[in-house]
Amino acid sequence: MYKLKLNHFNALIFRVLIVLALIAMIALQNDSLPLKSAEASTISSTLQNVEDLNKQQKYETSINILLNALSKHPNSESLIITFKQTFSLHLYSQISSGFKRVALNKHDTDAYLSIARSYSLIGDPIKAMETLMDGVIDNPDSINLWMTIGAMELQAQRDTEALSIFKEIIRIDVKNANAYNNIAYILARSKDKRIHNLKNALSYAQEAISFEPNNPNFIDTLAEIKFQLGQKNEALSLINQAIKLSPHEDYFKKQLSKFQAGITNPEFYQKASLVK
């Protein structure tokens, strides 16, 4: 199984993403209750405090204050609007700061990653990718930059491009287990018949595990390939091993249920027959 890494996603960003998801759920429920006078006063005071902090460009402090306020008043439209505006200001500030860092040191790969992350969160993947490509021009051997590019290509379902990126990572670092696993995942799960190749996927998955034999995600990738090849018993043994290593991962349990039920995608087996 392939998992996108949250490169440089700090605790604040993680909390923000959770709150944004909760806000979306609340919006769907459309359950807005009138505020009591005391609550309205508290919210008004919070908004004034945030406004003052934003003028000083202390966006992270503002976000933390708003996160705490939203935990108590999740239906407050004024808090939600201010939260979104402040988070946007924070991201643009991160972009500006990142470019200043790059201007001072073009080998500051963390700066490129910070800029790209902020662009992604704003909803501009093109600028995020442009930033990362600029980064690898100046830092051609940066595994973190290449891996983030590969993750974005994979997320966008551009399998051919993702394969090229992960192969480049292996050229730079011949023992990069994540790159081998990601290639195996793409070869096994791609819907493009020109890419889908279980024989090669098996080879890459085994290579990944040779470097990290107790990585449950790599074991799951190999299990999926074995299952597609019709080797159900081996797939079951492998996925049980992954569950033992990571008992709280629900995805592995779903894989186990799928393997036990023998649920297969006919398209996979049709493609598998093309493997030479």
- State how many domains the chain has: 1
Instruction: Report the alpha-carbon distance of residue 112 to residue 145 in Å, rounded.
Output: 8
- Dihedral angle of Cα 72, 76, 81, 83, to the nearest 10 degrees: 0
Chain centre to alpha carbon of residue 160: 19
107 assigned to some structural domain: no
- Whether pLDDT at 272 is above 50: no
What integer pLDDT is reported at residue 35 of this predicted model? 52
Q: Looking at residue 272, which CATH number applies to its domain?
A: 1.25.40.10
Nearest to 145 by CA among 122, 180, 113: 113
**In this structure, which amino acid lies at residue 136?**
V
Structure confidence by residue, pLDDT tens digits, 92-138: 999 999 999 999 999 999 999 999 999 999 999 999 999 999 999 99
What integer pLDDT is reported at residue 201 of this predicted model? 97
pLDDT band at 9, cuts 50/70/90? very low
Instruction: Report the alpha-carbon distance of residue 66 to residue 47 in Å, rounded.
Output: 8
225 assigned to some structural domain: yes
Kindly calculate the radius of gyration of the chain based on its CA atoms and give it in whole angstroms.
Answer: 23
Domain that holds residue 209: 176-276
Nearest to 229 by CA among 197, 255, 257, 207: 197
- Whether pLDDT at 229 is above 70: yes
> CB-based contacts of 249: which residues, under 8 Å, 6+ apart?
216, 242, 243
pLDDT band at 20, cuts 50/70/90? low
268 assigned to some structural domain: yes
- Whether pLDDT at 224 is above 80: yes
Structure confidence by residue, pLDDT tens digits, 41-88: 888 999 999 999 999 999 999 999 998 888 888 888 899 999 999 999
Count how many residues are written for the chain. 276
What does the pLDDT average to over 180-191?
95
